[in-house]
């Protein structure tokens, strides 16, 4: 990215974060439209399932985010509260202190950012920095306050399927026909947004892999991305390092560790791109950037 200078250790930079040059603020409408995008994950938490505690402060998170941009990430997804099964919620103040300084810095220097939050208060503060995408895992429990914010701000919003909270979602993974049920529940939740004045083009759909889903449900949803696409919105696939990949890659009867799931994640990225996904959300960016390029060539998109 032209607005980024050297990462410390690779050039003249001496500060704890990369040296930056100001860049024009960019948002959703500046993203490429001729290929599947890669969204890089930055979790500023102590308990996220694969990278909790890795970025203990804003400087570390910003540095990592800019590294992901250099590796080809189109969007950086910044979160300050773990939503892994069983994770305990954090206060609004803790989440705010974690994510807002990072988002402000990244937006200032031209990075397209999404804020991973279930709270309208955090999303609104993030939007004050610039044209941030809202990535909300609340699912069917999305608040009226969040819907009103999306309608009022015109922000792009990722509507993810989820039936419960971090504490309850696993018990709610019961479906008659998971693809049909997820599409129906997304359609019902979407209507709340449309009734509030949100424009259809503001919405992005996420099937919510791992959220109130068993492994078999995740695989079925991936095999039926076309049904999700029929809702008429871009589709985000967020499979990175999730439990169902670890269980597939068992070693000595135990699930593979999160970082051992990156190759499988890249395979999902390639297949999702080949099936027309708008974006893939991943921890390890370089492999998925290559996977998207392969899919693009394979399908003759370029």
- Residue 25 annotated to the active site: no
Q: Which residues contact 53 (CB under 8 A, 6 or more apart)?
A: 45, 46, 47
The CA-atom distances, in angstroms, between 21 and each of 4, 110, 197 are 6, 9, 38
- Residue 281 annotated to the active site: yes
CB neighbour burial string for 108-134, b if at least 16 within 10 angstroms, e if fewer: ebbbbbbbbbbbbebbbbbbebbbbbb
Task: Please identify which residue in the block is written with the tokens 């991305």.
Answer: 225
Task: Please identify which residue in the block is written with the tokens 């503001």.
Answer: 202
Kindly name the residue from 63, 98, 242, 243 that is annotated as catalytic: 242
Asked if 35 and 298 count as a contact pair (C-beta separation under 8 A), the reply is no
Asked if 114 and 134 count as a contact pair (C-beta separation under 8 A), the reply is yes
Report the run of H or E that residue 126 belongs to, with start and end.
helix 120-127
The CA-atom distances, in angstroms, between 146 and each of 104, 156, 262 are 20, 12, 33
Q: Supply the angle between the helices 92-108 and 58-70 in degrees, to the nearest 10.
A: 40
The CA-atom distances, in angstroms, between 156 and each of 200, 261, 281, 295 are 10, 30, 16, 26
Active site residues: 242, 281
């Amino acid at each position: 990215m032209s607005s980024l200078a050297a990462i410390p250790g690779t050039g003249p930079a001496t500060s704890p974060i990369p040296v930056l040059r100001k860049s024009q603020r960019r948002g959703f409408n500046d993203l490429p439209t001729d290929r599947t995008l890669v969204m890089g994950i930055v979790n500023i938490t102590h308990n996220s399932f694969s990278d909790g505690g890795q970025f203990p402060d804003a400087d570390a998170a910003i540095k990592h985010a800019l590294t992901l941009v250099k590796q080809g990430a189109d969007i950086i997804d910044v979160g300050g509260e773990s939503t892994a099964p069983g994770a305990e919620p954090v206060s609004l103040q803790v989440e705010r202190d974690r994510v807002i300084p990072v988002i402000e810095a990244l937006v200032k220097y031209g990075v397209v950012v999404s804020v991973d939050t279930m709270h309208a208060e955090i999303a609104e503060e993030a939007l004050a920095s610039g044209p941030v995408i809202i990535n909300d895992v609340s699912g069917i429990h999305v608040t009226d306050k969040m819907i009103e914010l999306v309608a009022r701000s015109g922000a792009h919003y990722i509507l993810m399927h989820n039936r419960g909270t971090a504490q309850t979602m696993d018990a709610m993974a019961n479906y008659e026909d998971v693809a049909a049920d997820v599409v129906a529940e997304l359609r019902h939740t979407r209507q709340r947004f449309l009734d509030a004045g949100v424009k259809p083009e503001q919405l992005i759909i996420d099937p919510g892999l791992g959220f109130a889903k068993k492994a078999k449900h995740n695989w079925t949803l991936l095999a039926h991305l076309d049904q999700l696409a029929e809702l008429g919105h871009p589709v985000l696939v967020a499979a990175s390092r999730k439990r169902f990949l670890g269980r597939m890659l068992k070693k000595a009867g135990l699930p593979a560790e999160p970082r051992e799931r990156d190759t499988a994640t890249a395979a999902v990225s390639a297949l999702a791109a080949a099936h027309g996904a708008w974006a893939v959300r991943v921890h390890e960016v370089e492999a998925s950037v290559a996977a998207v390029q392969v899919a693009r060539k394979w399908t003759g998109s370029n």
